[in-house]
Amino acid sequence: MELTFLGTSCMVPTKERNVSGIFLSYKNKGILIDCGEGTQRQMNIAGINRNKVDYIFLSHWHGDHVSGLIGLIQTLGNQNAQNEERPMIHIYGPKETEERIENLLKTCIFENKLIMEVHEIIPKNFEPMKILETENFIVQAAMLDHGIPCLGYAFIEKDTRKIDMKKVKEHGLREGPLLGKIQQGETISFEGKTISPDMVSEVKNGKKISFILDTAPCNGASNLAKDSDLLICEASYASKLDEKAENNKHLTAKQAAFIASNSNAKRLILTHISQRYKTPEEVLEDAKDVFNEVEVAFDLMKIKI
């Protein structure tokens, strides 16, 4: 599992920071969180195959989070131009996403060769809701407070069992269907013996990554962040500009750190940094007053999890 920050700026790109975009590579799946202007180019620079995007999760429809979407749709649609089978992608977003995708497709003249399944997510209150489940992971979404429909997301890897082959051999077991059942957490019978999963394997806890990209302090952010191994959170301003943050429904770095601390997050990475900060020091120190395991993201930063 590898995370790449494609854009870490707030509202407008700068020489050092592009606007919002994060790519999560998990096993054979590519997951894109937001798609600001220039996301495709950032993917190229980062060595990420743009055609490997399977899911797009949109936080909200402000331009700095979606303005690269139409170009990416065209690129993905052309990936199998010689193939009869049209490529498919899942797009998740807040209320009005279906309508806005339809309108977006009308802004350029091109043949859409991409099959898109658009999922419009409307959580109740600020409680996380499961919006996607695969064999290996779950994705939750919760409403945030940004003045328009806005979502935060949590990627939750499922727990797995790690087989101890030495213990397996001690019980006379071999690779096959019975071992597969143990991998699924089932107790088996073998040669008159009952063998439970805990006798020959151990649980490897899955990782949780939460994405809180634009919001004022709210329960939705805290609920999503709970027990995160990694919390990625916007920090548009340092605390000296807390009134500006409140007016624009953004977080200060210190507020992001409070969310991490109060939600039992293990690690915090700050992003969506205002262009006024030429270096990350002020934002970083503001957060470190509250939470020590914190760093400020930079464009093309990669993290293996």
CATH number for the domain harbouring residue 143: 3.60.15.10
- Confidence (pLDDT) at 281: 97
Kindly state whether residues 292 and 213 are assigned to the same domain: yes
Residues 12 and 31 in one domain: yes
Paired strand residues for 204: 160
Question: What is the reported pLDDT for 164?
Answer: 78
The confidence band for 304, taking pLDDT boundaries of 50, 70 and 90, is: very high
- The catalytically annotated residue of 64, 214, 286, 299 is 64
194 with 239, same domain: the answer is no
Burial class of residue 183 (count of CB atoms within 10 Å of its CB; 0-12, 13-18, 19+):
middle
d(Cα 56, Cα 101) in Å, to the nearest integer? 12
Last-in-domain residue among 147, 174, 202: 202
Assess whether 22 and 134 both reside in one domain. yes
CA 246 to chain centre: 25
Pair (55, 144) in one structural domain: yes
152 plus 122 within the same structural domain: yes
Whether 168 and 284 map to the same domain: the answer is no
Q: Does residue 176 sit in the same domain as residue 151?
A: no
Yes or no: say if 232 and 207 are a contact pair by the CB < 8 Å rule.
Answer: no
The pLDDT of residue 81 is above 60: no
Whether residue 33 sits in one domain with residue 98:
yes
Query: Which position has the higher pLDDT, 152 or 165?
Result: 152
Question: Per-residue pLDDT for 82 more than 90?
Answer: no
Q: Is the pLDDT of residue 191 over 90?
A: no
Residue 35's pLDDT is what?
98
- Cα angle 304, 233, 18; round to 5: 80
Residues 192 and 211 both lie in one domain:
no
pLDDT tens digits along 52-73: 999 999 999 999 999 999 999 9
By C-alpha distance, which of 256, 259, 253, 257 is closest to 291? Answer: 257
Average pLDDT for 231-259:
98
pLDDT score at 247 = 97
Top-confidence range, 74-88, 161-175, 186-200: 186-200
Q: Which residue has the higher pLDDT, 201 or 156?
A: 156
Q: How many separate domains does the chain show? A: 2
Structural domain of 37? 2-159+205-304
Residues 268 and 300 in one domain: yes
Q: What is the dihedral of CA 221, 225, 231, 235, to 10 degrees?
A: 20
Predicted TM-score (pTM) of this structure: 0.90
Provide the residue type at 184 as one letter. Answer: Q
pLDDT reported for residue 273: 98
**Do the beta carbons of residue 230 and residue 210 sit within 8 Å?**
yes
Kindly state whether residues 182 and 90 are assigned to the same domain. Answer: no
Our answer to whether residue 198 is catalytic in this structure is no
Please identify, among 145, 174, 202, the residue that sits at the C-terminal boundary of a domain: 202
Question: What would the mean pLDDT of 12-39 be, rounded to a whole number?
Answer: 97
What is the dihedral angle through the alpha carbons of 215, 219, 223, 228, rounded to the nearest 10 degrees? 50
